[in-house]
């Protein structure tokens, strides 16, 4: 019987109050305790949100799917890590050297990275990126990564953007079955509550899309989100960036919300020049006799168009939920026809997740042609869902393979 419990304590200083929460994961195969450090201030990146709890629970119950081997480690990137519960759990629960964990958050936020590094130390996790010691220590990178930042390292940004990260990852050798060791590629992307702030939706998906469409078409983005508003939808953004998704039901990993309740706890623009990005990429990849220069030109075009789309999105003048500019999202939930140039009215009030809304989301990719994937601001643990995203056009086969691997891993552990 799997179970999870948590306890917490807090301390204060003249500058900030800190809480240390302990999450206890128990199964027939292993028992894992993860300590997470929270800073009790206005920064929402330093608090454990419900989405992180659900994603971590899924990871623990499907741990074999997140584990590689010493010769071929699974390279896992966490975006917008915050308190980094998923990364910490993987570091505690996996064999040293079987994974390479890349824990990232936004640039120019040293307090977040200080907190993550302290959390790794608090959990007695020793780590290095030196492959000579990979059997004794975990291989972990803690660094900044701005969504939609396609740059190399520079004096002003030593970590650089996505291109620098992928360059660093290529230096991690992986030995695939029946093949010699080759440059590393990101196998899995993780993110909890990444669909929170509308201006971030397109930069996030541009980052994920570049990894999946230009770096590793077998890569999967696994993210948890809260279904907080019936007025938001990312289906058109997934299509625009050459992606598609499926919702993983709670029943698929026996998620029990009661374990997390203690006593007393009672858009972006539509279409545009980038809409056919995935088709263009596939056509380019089918031309086996292309010169290397053409591939580089295609990549430069991809990034140029991505930057233009992100720039248009974040500079949209429409009013939103905060003083920041927001994306204009299409309201697929109303059933009304959408005309190009129309904008969805966004309501500040939190919309409770109705029973029929939950059913609509849970049938995503199965019974509905219009998936009506909704996003917003607010919500609780009961409205959290796990979303599985892959390269567009590969969803059915890739998700079926993902589920087969899950069943095989579960059977191997019986």
| Residue 279 in this model has a pLDDT that exceeds 50 | no
Instruction: Return the closest-CA partner of residue 392 out of 275, 233, 285, 278.
Output: 278
* CA–CA separation, 351 and 364 (whole Å): 20
pLDDT tens readout for residues 118-175: 999 999 998 776 554 445 578 899 999 999 999 999 999 999 999 999 999 999 887 7
- pLDDT confidence of 16, banded at 50, 70, 90? low
- pLDDT confidence of 231, banded at 50, 70, 90? confident
pLDDT tens readout for residues 283-334: 344 444 555 567 778 788 888 888 887 777 666 543 322 222 223 232 222 2
State the average pLDDT for the chain. 74
Instruction: Return the closest-CA partner of residue 60 out of 38, 34, 83.
Output: 34
* CA–CA separation, 175 and 224 (whole Å): 30
Find the helix or strand (DSSP H, E) in which 86 lies: helix 85-93
Would you state the pLDDT for residue 410? 63
Would you state the pLDDT for residue 227? 80
| Residue 397 in this model has a pLDDT that exceeds 80 | yes
- Using a 10 angstrom Cβ sphere, with 0-12 exposed, 13-18 middle and 19 or more buried, the burial of residue 325 is middle
Query: What number of other Cβ atoms are within 10 A of residue 123's Cβ?
Result: 18
* CA–CA separation, 115 and 46 (whole Å): 8
Q: Output 243 or 134, whichever has higher pLDDT.
A: 243
pTM (whole model) above 0.85: no
The CA distances from residue 188 to 36, 218, 222, 280, 312, in Å, are 22, 9, 7, 24, 29
């Amino acid at each position: 019987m799997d179970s999870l419990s948590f306890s917490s304590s807090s301390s204060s200083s003249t500058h900030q109050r800190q809480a240390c929460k302990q999450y206890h994961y128990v199964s027939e195969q292993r028992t894992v305790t993860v300590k997470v450090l929270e800073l009790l201030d206005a920064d929402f990146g330093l608090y454990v949100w419900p989405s992180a709890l659900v994603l971590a629970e899924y990871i623990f119950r499907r741990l074999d799917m997140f584990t590689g081997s010493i010769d071929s480690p699974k390279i896992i990137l966490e975006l917008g890590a915050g308190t980094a519960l998923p990364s910490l759990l993987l570091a505690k629960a996996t064999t040293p050297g079987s994974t390479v964990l890349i824990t990232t958050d936004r640039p120019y936020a040293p307090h977040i990275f200080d907190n993550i590094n302290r959390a790794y130390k608090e959990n007695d996790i020793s780590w290095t990126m030196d492959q000579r010691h990979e059997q004794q220590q975990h291989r972990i990178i803690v660094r900044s990564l701005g969504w939609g930042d396609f740059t190399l390292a520079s004096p002003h940004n030593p970590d650089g953007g996505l291109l620098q990260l992928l360059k660093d990852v290529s230096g991690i050798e992986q030995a695939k079955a029946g093949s010699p060791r080759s440059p590393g590629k990101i196998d899995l992307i993780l993110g909890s509550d990444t669909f929170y702030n509308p201006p971030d939706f397109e930069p996030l998906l541009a980052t994920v899309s570049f990894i999946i469409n230009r770096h590793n078409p077998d890569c999967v983005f696994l993210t948890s989100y809260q279904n907080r508003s019936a007025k938001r939808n990312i289906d058109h953004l997934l299509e625009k960036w050459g992606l598609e998704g499926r919702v993983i039901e709670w029943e698929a990993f026996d998620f029990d919300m009661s374990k997390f309740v203690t006593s007393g706890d009672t858009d972006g623009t539509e279409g545009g020049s980038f809409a056919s990005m995935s088709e263009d990429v596939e056509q380019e990849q089918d031309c086996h006799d292309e010169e290397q220069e053409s591939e580089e030109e295609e990549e430069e075009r991809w990034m140029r168009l991505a930057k233009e789309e992100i720039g248009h999105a974040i500079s949209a003048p429409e009013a939103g939920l905060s003083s920041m500019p927001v994306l204009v999202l299409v309201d697929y939930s109303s059933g009304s026809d959408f005309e190009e140039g129309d904008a969805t009215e966004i309501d500040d009030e939190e919309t409770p997740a109705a029973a029929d809304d939950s059913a609509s989301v849970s049938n995503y990719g199965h019974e509905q042609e219009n998936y009506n994937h909704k996003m917003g601001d607010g919500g609780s643990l009961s409205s959290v869902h796990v979303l599985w995203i892959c390269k567009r056009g590969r969803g059915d086969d890739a998700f079926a393979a993902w589920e087969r691997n899950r069943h095989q891993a579960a059977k191997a552990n019986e």
